[in-house]
Amino acid sequence: MKKRILSAGCVLAICLTLGIQVNAMDNETIDGSKLTHQDESVGYTEQKTRGEYLLTGYSKCVKRGDGKLYAGGTTIAVKEVESIQVAVMIERAKKGDDSWTYYESWEKINHNMDRVGSNRALAVEGGYYYRVRSYHAANSDASSSFTDGIYIE
């Protein structure tokens, strides 16, 4: 009976230790972005005063299969503005890196509207975590957003 209890205790201790190690690896971050194996990540502008024109903005990153990534950003104003824009930047990193490296970027500007969005489907190199960072502006108000990193095989 004592052997069974001791044995069960050892198995539980090993499982807990492995679980902590796996969770620690899943929680690795680079510049505020978690490295994940999720299929999708969305990041929003910070909830603080942005001025009188900018309402919100978000970045989106979606895994579409091996070597395929869908990425984009959207900016939304409180009302119709003279100029509204989103600049989208794709960055990538490998586990163990200290920072993200530039991969690709683009921007879109609309005039006399209350929103702008831009997205693309990309063929990317596997073996990296990819994230999207977006710059959002409505007239003179500006903010930014970023996603977590998703792994592309």
pLDDT at residue 26, as a whole number? 53
- Check residue 148 and report its DSSP letter: P
Rounded Cα gap, residues 106 and 46, in angstroms: 22
Please give the model's pTM, rounded to 2 decimal places. 0.80
Q: Which amino acid is at 137?
A: A
Which tens digit of pLDDT belongs to each residue from 98-124?
999 999 999 999 999 999 999 999 999
Rounded Cα gap, residues 78 and 57, in angstroms: 11
pLDDT at residue 9, as a whole number? 47
> Which residues, in sequence order, are CB contacts of 33 under 8 Å at separation 6+?
100, 131, 146, 147, 148, 149
Listed in order, strand segments (DSSP E) in the chain are 29-30, 33-36, 40-44, 54-63, 68-93, 101-123, 128-138, 141-146, 149-152
pLDDT-derived band at 48 (thresholds 50, 70, 90) equals: low
Which tens digit of pLDDT belongs to each residue from 12-40?
444 444 443 444 445 799 999 999 999 99
Average pLDDT, the chain: 86
